[in-house]
């Protein structure tokens, strides 16, 4: 976190790094010759590109086998437990007692990313309900003794830190390009996946003393690179796939290292990591001929596509209880809206990806009691506490009614997608005899959706509006 703060501060004030070093050697050195204080190694060959002008290539270190942490010559894992780890385990073992404290279930949830979910069938949930007589609460704040993000970062060993350095996980593009990628994300990607509170994110993005999650920022840069037309991101063929691969590897390295501990942030990043994909035999789609594109999804690496990352995001979200209503929880109003948007975004990704790739759906809507979306759910701010409360933020990021209506009607369309998949394309549907009735039912649902589509997002040939066209294309 300190490294990210320092980098964002340096991006906003290029001269700050020189003053901090206090030496004469770096004074007057052009930006193209400087490098980040923690960029000890280049992350990968794909990052040696023009849009990372703040880096300088250095030789990769050579690690000896004993640096990997295996103390046995036979490759046996180390069975010794450090005192710090043992102490933390003792603390964690006592966490369950925290759930039985008086009024624990009604305690305020100060951090939306530190929420425990206890389903009704959980034994621990039964103990909590029996003690306090509560039946409407399934979301609980994580006890204070459960480790947070700072504790998790401190648990990374030197090998993991070295791997993150080699992947360039701590590196960011120049500030101007970074700003352009973030803007591209919020303009073209966020309306399809409205999973980030833009007001809070931009407030932290502009604050070098309290920067946003590095995992989330790298994931945003990945998604933004898919829709950004800056020539610095493009290869000789005019494709941004190589740049997207760089950001993907950085985000994935942070995710694999458990660098982030906020559960909401992890879900947000997992959703955006689906904007990277690989074609046949691990090659980028941009490097394959057109005939191969039709078969690319069949031969693609199934651990590097939107279906994989969407399913992982759903699992993490369900583990945090995002599939359950939070109206009776102690979350803030803004967080309740955000959780609802995240869940229905996951629903749309689940259904649309299943249709596009011919895969089974992963979300059973009967297991969820999250309320339907409304226009109010797109408001990022809590209720104002005064006449001028949040006025600056509200005036800066005004809601676009067209994009709001796009997502609301996209959710409705994805509900019909699920109906069509279940009635026409599921394995169970093959044995049913009333296929004609089911087909009529699906056709009527689609016709009703089209007839009731609001004028803001209804396709009109003479208008050629992008979001209307995208909605019609999904229809």
Q: What's the average pLDDT block by block, 10 residues per block, for the chain (475 residues)?
A: 56 51 43 37 41 40 40 64 63 56 60 72 64 62 58 69 92 96 97 96 94 97 96 91 94 94 95 81 42 49 85 94 88 92 97 91 93 93 53 65 94 92 78 73 88 88 84 86
- Residue 345: burial class (beta carbons within 10 Å; 0-12, 13-18, 19+): buried
Handedness of CA 314, 319, 325, 328 (dihedral sign): negative
pTM of the model: 0.76
The pair of structure tokens assigned to 422 is: 């279940």
Q: Provide the pLDDT for residue 218.
A: 98
Q: Provide the pLDDT for residue 160.
A: 87
DSSP state of 388: T
Q: Provide the pLDDT for residue 346.
A: 98
Task: Extract the runs of DSSP E, i.e. beta strands, from 328-470.
Answer: none
Q: How far apart are CA 353 and CA 406, in angstroms?
A: 18
Residue 43, SS3 per DSSP: coil
At a CB cut-off of 8 Å and minimum separation 6, what does 174 contact?
11, 31, 51, 52, 53, 54
| φ and ψ at residue 55, rounded to 5 degrees | -105, 160
Closest C-alpha to 264, from 205, 328, 207, 331: 331
DSSP state of 141: E
Q: How far apart are CA 11 and CA 15, in angstroms?
A: 9
């Amino acid at each position: 976190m300190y490294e990210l703060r320092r980098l964002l501060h340096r991006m906003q004030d290029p001269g700050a790094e020189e003053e901090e070093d206090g030496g004469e050697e770096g004074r007057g050195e052009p930006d193209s010759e400087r490098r980040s204080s923690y960029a000890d190694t280049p992350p990968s060959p794909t990052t040696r590109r023009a849009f990372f002008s703040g880096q300088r290539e250095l030789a990769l270190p050579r690690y000896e086998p004993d640096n990997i942490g295996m103390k046995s010559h036979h490759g046996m894992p180390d069975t010794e437990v450090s005192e710090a780890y043992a102490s933390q385990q003792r603390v964690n073992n006592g966490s369950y007692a925290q759930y039985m404290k008086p009024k624990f279930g009604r305690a305020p949830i100060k951090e939306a990313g530190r929420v425990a979910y206890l389903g009704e069938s959980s034994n621990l949930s039964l103990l909590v309900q029996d003690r306090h007589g509560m039946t409407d609460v399934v979301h609980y704040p994580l006890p204070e003794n459960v480790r947070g993000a700072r504790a998790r970062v401190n648990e990374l060993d030197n090998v993991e830190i070295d791997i993150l350095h080699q992947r360039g996980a701590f590196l960011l593009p120049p500030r101007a390009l970074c700003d352009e990628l973030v803007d591209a994300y919020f303009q073209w990607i966020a309306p399809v996946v409205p999973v980030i509170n833009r007001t809070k994110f931009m407030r932290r993005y502009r604050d070098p003393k309290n920067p946003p999650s590095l995992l989330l920022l790298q994931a945003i840069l990945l998604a933004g690179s898919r829709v950004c037309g800056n020539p610095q991101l493009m290869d000789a063929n005019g494709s941004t796939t190589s740049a997207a691969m760089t950001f993907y590897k950085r985000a994935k390295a942070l995710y694999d290292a458990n660098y982030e501990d906020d559960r909401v942030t992890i879900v947000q990043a997992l959703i955006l990591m689906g904007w990277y994909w690989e074609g046949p035999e691990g090659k980028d789609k941009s490097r394959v001929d057109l005939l191969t594109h039709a078969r690319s999804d069949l031969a693609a690496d199934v651990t590097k596509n939107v279906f994989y990352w969407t399913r992982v995001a759903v699992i993490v979200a369900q583990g945090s209880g995002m599939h359950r209503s939070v109206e009776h929880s102690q979350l803030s109003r803004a967080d309740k809206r955000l959780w609802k948007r995240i869940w229905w975004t996951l629903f749309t990704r689940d259904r649309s990806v299943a249709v596009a790739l011919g895969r089974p759906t992963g979300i059973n809507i009967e297991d969820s009691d999250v309320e339907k979306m409304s226009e109010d759910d797109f408001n990022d701010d809590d209720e104002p506490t005064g006449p001028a409360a949040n006025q600056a933020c509200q005036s800066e990021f005004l809601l676009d009614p067209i994009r709001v209506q796009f997502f609301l009607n996209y959710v409705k369309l994805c509900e019909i997608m699920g109906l069509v998949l279940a009635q026409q394309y599921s394995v169970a549907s093959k044995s049913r005899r009333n296929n004609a009735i089911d087909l009529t039912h699906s056709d009527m649902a689609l016709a009703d959706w089209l007839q009731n589509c609001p004028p803001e997002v209804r396709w009109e040939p003479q208008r050629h509006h992008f979001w209307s066209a995208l909605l019609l294309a999904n229809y």
